[in-house]
């Protein structure tokens, strides 16, 4: 009896092993074909997408030549968009007026002044939170910082908030998520101050007048940053990075003063994304998209993000930390979960998030 059970176990294991080998072989063949010159569009999207990932960059050099990689990088770039935000373009008092949606009907908000909309793109699915009262949007954190962060729903509930999306840069290795990177400002207090530790750093947040701020802080010292926060009246902010190690890896500014960032090609690969924007009436837009195979979707490109934010009236918009971190919580439930298989019902551990307080 025991021998029979052992034989059955061996057979099952052999079937699993053969299946895995076949799947890996098929995937290998498909990627090799994608990287051939017979499928340039698929090759370009593959290269630009994996270059943006934290753990899969090596796949580009495994399957494609350096010339192919450089060709794709050069074909998908972004022009700089470094204009200062014109605050006169935002009239927060107008948020009390009725705004029409894409169907020319008055927007309907819940009891907390939040409206959620679903967005379907060519290669992604997403959800957007529209928050009528900008003062409700804050940065939630796990401060004081420790080795481990918290999942998004825990940060949202811990802040007493009703909704939220993932926030800024952080140390994600080992899914510890306890350490932010760059800067963090919460309720006017600087809780993390190391702007010079990374190049190409941007502050993304809100000032005391409830205006969205997208500010290049590259090269600032801790003292410089402390002075800037005081002078600019920054109340809540996190950091993201412009072009980390690859020419289309990280990007921040999408729209400034109604001017969309000029792109070559799609501007980037297709990946899960998180974006924050502000309309002319002051309402905040929080967008999260899927990707990396979730529901069969590759993800959103920079071009996709700009189009969606323009469609929903963003005067200013910025890309936040995305990829496996991109998640959304609304009314106690995950509306968008991590695309990572083992966190597909929740999120990675995070140190920061943009949260929406109840009315």
Domain definitions of the chain by residue range: 2-75, 87-356
Who's near 238: CB < 8 A, 6+ residues apart?
139, 167, 168, 169, 180, 182, 183, 184, 185, 203, 204, 205, 320, 352, 354
The pLDDT value recorded for residue 270 is: 85
**Cα 296 versus chain centre, distance:** 19
Residue 85 Ramachandran class (φ > 0 left, ψ -120 to 50 alpha, else beta): beta
Q: Among 240, 167, 232, 237, which residue's Cα sits nearest to residue 199?
A: 240
Side-chain half-sphere CA neighbours of 267 within 13 A: 23
Q: Which residue has the tokens 């993304």?
A: 204
For the chain, the first-to-last Cα distance in angstroms comes to 66
What per-residue confidence (pLDDT) applies to 34?
Answer: 53
Q: What's the pTM value of the predicted model, to 2 decimals? A: 0.83
Q: Which helix (H) or strand (E) holds 85?
A: none
CA distance 16 to 310: 48
Confidence at residue 231, expressed as pLDDT on a 0 to 100 scale: 98
Per-residue model confidence (pLDDT) at position 24? 47
In degrees, rounded to 5, the angle at the alpha carbon of residue 349 between the alpha carbons of residues 344 and 353 is 100
User: What are the CA-CA distances from residue 38 to residues 31, 54, 66, 357 (Å)?
Assistant: 12, 28, 17, 52
At residue 266, the pLDDT reads: 72
**The pLDDT value given to residue 247:** 42
Angle at 32 between CA 26 and CA 33, to 5 degrees: 90
159 phi, psi to nearest 5 deg: -85, -5
DSSP structure string for 128-185: EEEES-GGGEEEEE-PSP-SB-B-HHHHHHHTT-SEEEE-S-B--GGG-B--B-SEEE
- Token readout for 226 is 């402390």
pLDDT in tens, the chain (359 residues): 666 666 666 676 666 666 656 554 554 555 555 555 655 666 666 666 666 665 556 566 656 766 776 666 666 677 888 789 999 999 987 556 666 666 556 789 999 999 999 999 988 999 999 999 999 999 999 999 999 999 999 999 999 999 999 999 999 888 899 999 999 999 999 999 999 989 999 999 999 999 999 999 999 999 999 999 999 999 999 999 986 554 445 799 999 999 999 887 777 888 899 999 999 999 999 999 998 877 888 899 999 999 999 999 999 999 999 988 999 999 999 999 988 877 778 899 999 999 999 99
């Amino acid at each position: 009896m025991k021998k029979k059970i052992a034989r059955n176990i061996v057979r099952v294991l052999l079937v699993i092993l053969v299946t895995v080998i076949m799947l890996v072989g098929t995937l290998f063949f498909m990627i090799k074909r994608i990287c051939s010159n017979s499928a340039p569009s698929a090759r370009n999207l593959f290269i630009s997408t994996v270059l943006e990932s934290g753990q899969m960059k090596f796949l580009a050099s495994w399957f494609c030549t350096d010339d192919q990689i450089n060709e794709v990088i050069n074909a998908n770039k972004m022009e700089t968009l470094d204009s200062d935000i014109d605050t006169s373009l935002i009239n927060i008092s107008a948020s009390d007026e009725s705004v029409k949606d894409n169907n020319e009907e008055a927007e309907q908000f819940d009891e907390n002044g939040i409206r959620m909309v679903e967005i379907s793109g060519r290669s992604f699915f997403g959800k957007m939170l529209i928050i009528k009262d900008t003062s409700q949007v804050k940065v939630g954190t796990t401060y004081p910082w420790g080795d481990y962060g918290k999942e998004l729903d825990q940060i949202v509930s811990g802040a007493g908030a009703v909704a939220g999306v993932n926030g800024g840069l952080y140390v994600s290795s080992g899914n510890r998520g306890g350490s932010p990177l760059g800067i963090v400002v919460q309720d006017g207090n600087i809780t993390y101050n190391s702007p010079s530790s990374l190049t190409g750093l941007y502050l993304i947040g809100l000032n005391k007048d409830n205006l969205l701020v997208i500010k290049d802080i590259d090269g600032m010292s801790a003292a410089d940053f402390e002075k800037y926060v005081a002078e600019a009246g920054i109340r809540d902010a996190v950091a993201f990075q412009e072009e980390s190690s690859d020419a289309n890896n990280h990007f921040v500014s999408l729209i400034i003063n109604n001017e969309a960032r000029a792109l070559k090609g799609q501007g980037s690969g297709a990946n899960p994304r998180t974006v924050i924007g502000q309309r002319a009436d002051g309402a905040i837009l929080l967008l999260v998209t899927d990707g990396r195979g979730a529901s069969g979707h590759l993800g959103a490109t920079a071009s996709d993000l700009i189009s969606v934010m323009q469609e929903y009236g963003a005067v200013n918009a910025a890309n936040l930390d995305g990829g496996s971190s991109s998640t959304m919580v609304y009314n106690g439930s995950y509306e968008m979960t991590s695309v990572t298989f083992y966190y597909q019902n929740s999120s990675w551990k995070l140190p920061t998030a943009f949260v929406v307080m109840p009315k």
